[in-house]
Structure 1
Amino acid sequence: MSPSKVYLKVNRVPADIVAKAREITVADIHEAMGPPGRAALMAGRMRPLQPGQKIAGPAVTAFCWPGDNLMMHRALYLAQPGDVLVVVCQAELSGAQWGDLATRYAMKKGLAGVVVQGSARDIDQVRELGFPVWSTHISPIHPDKSGHGYVNAPVVCEGVNVCPGDLIVADGDGVIAVPRKDAARVVAAAQAKMSKEDEVIEKVRNGAAVWDLSGAAAIYAKLEIEEVDAAFDD
């Protein structure tokens, strides 16, 4: 049996769903998913290299052997405009998975961004270029290009199952992966939630207290909490 396998095609989340997802935050998508939203959030180590960026797009996946990024390069070659490259190397500090040249090529191809469980390098150049990158580590260690792995097969990236074509959304809060079959429903629910929040924001502008609008006041009233009209050290 071959130690490597590369799937050349991806069944992607529809482009109209991706376009809507670009306007929605990771937090709203997470809440719109309900309890499964916790399992869909990548661990907090996955951080953006540059603040203020946000992406959404279908996943193209790569699983790389320790110290090797050959499969990342194959996935990058196969990726299409708007895709989000999701790269996993479990030996995260064994060799950088992403750098300056990969960034320039990804920008030329029109990729939305990249998510790396592993190391990125050439960070100053990548930040200057402005390409959106999320990673768990920064390290300049040189990677080989001779190892086995997988492309466009399911991976587990920072604790989250990601299948090729799933909807990936990332912003300053982190990265979330929405299964392709659930994407339309989740995005619609997140849009509805955002609309309700816009109404709440308008009420706050008009003087309403978040204490009341959030429901905290009603819950607090049921807890029989003793309030003392004095300082604790009087």
Structure 2
Amino acid sequence: MRPLKSVVYKRIPRPDPALIERARKFGIADLHEGLGAVAGRMCLMSPRMQARQNGQGTVVGPAITAWNYPGDNLAIHCALEVAQAGDVLVLTNGGGHQGALWGDVACGFAKKQGLVGTVVEGAARDIDAIRELGFPIWSTAVSVEHPEKRGPAAVNVPLTVDGVLVEPGDVVCADTDGVLIIPRALLRHAVEGAEKRARAEVGIRARIEAGERPFDILGFREAAAEMGLEIKDCSWQDDA
């Protein structure tokens, strides 16, 4: 069995900047739907991953990944050494609350370096101070518990974060609704799907404004008839 060895990869494969800019026009709901039913679910983190800022807008950028030993956060400092402006840090210690992975000092440095957000499977702390900094973060927990800085650590390796595979250079899309990880190979597909969905919704909103009902616009009336759905003009008590 090979011993556990700490490693930091300085470089990541980077997504097309033009596609990143197109993705920034959408919330993660549009990009999630743009990926399709299967990939969209596979790439979406759970509701445990909570935005810790209010009204922070949408963050889109390449993932810099950092694996931290439980109770330790050495890897985040290694990640901050190699991250570039526009990147998003994606941190995990396996999801436990032991040892806060992220706090206001690291946050202030990340903002100064031009990073655009941090996603933490684990605990963040100094939330009020981070909110004052205006730096977007997401985490699965809040805890002030002391972190060691002894390692082992790994940076820019594939990770499973809140049940989602994250490879270095994958595109992190996050807003108040949650966190979506788009593989680089699927970025164009997700963006084009989101653009198509946005165009369709413009038409739907216009038809609603003109007096039509979503039940008819979306074809639910026909679908309801096909499935044998009964619509009864009475209460359930009257029908009992």
Q: Deviations over 1:14-38 (max 9, x none)?
A: 2111111111121111111111111
Task: Report what 1:10 is aligned to.
Answer: 12
CA shift in 2, pair 1:82/1:210, >3 Å? same
Identical-pair percentage: 42
Pairing partner for 2:47 from 35, 44, 66: 44
Decide whether the 8 Å contact of 1:67 with 1:91 is kept in 2: no
Distance in 2 (CA, whole Å) between partners of 1:212 and 1:66 is: 53
Q: Work out the CA distance in 1 between the residues paired with 2:232 and 2:171.
A: 50
Distance 1:227 1:110, change over 3 A: same
Structure 1 position 24 matched with structure 2 position 21 = no
String of CA shifts for 1:82-107, please: whole Å, max 9, x gaps.
10100011152110000010111011
| CA distance, structure 2, for counterparts of residue 119 and residue 67 of structure 1 | 10
TM-score under structure 1 normalisation? Answer: 0.96
> Once the two structures are superposed, what CA deviation does each residue of 1:112-163 show, in whole Å capped at 9, x if it has no partner?
1000000000000001111100000000111111111210010100000000
Q: Point out the more displaced range, 115-124 or 196-205.
A: 196-205
Task: Give the alignment's Cα RMSD to 1 decimal.
Answer: 1.3
2:224 aligned partner: 220
1:129-144 to 2 correspondence within 5 Å?
A: 129-144=133-148
Counterpart Cα distance in 2 of 1:24 and 1:104 = 27
Retained in 1: the 8 A contact 2:95–2:140? no
The whole-number CA distance in structure 2 between the counterparts of 1:93 and 1:232 is 47
Assess if the C-alpha contact under 8 Å between 2:34 and 2:189 holds in 1: no
Q: Which amino acid aligns with 1:175?
A: V
Q: How many residues align?
A: 234
Does residue 59 of structure 1 match 2:59? no
| 1:192 lines up with 2:196 in the alignment | yes
Given the alignment, which residue of 101, 108, 114 partners 1:110? 114
DSSP-derived class of the 1:96 partner: coil
Q: Unpaired segments of 5 or more residues in structure 2?
A: none
Unmatched 5+ stretches in structure 1: none
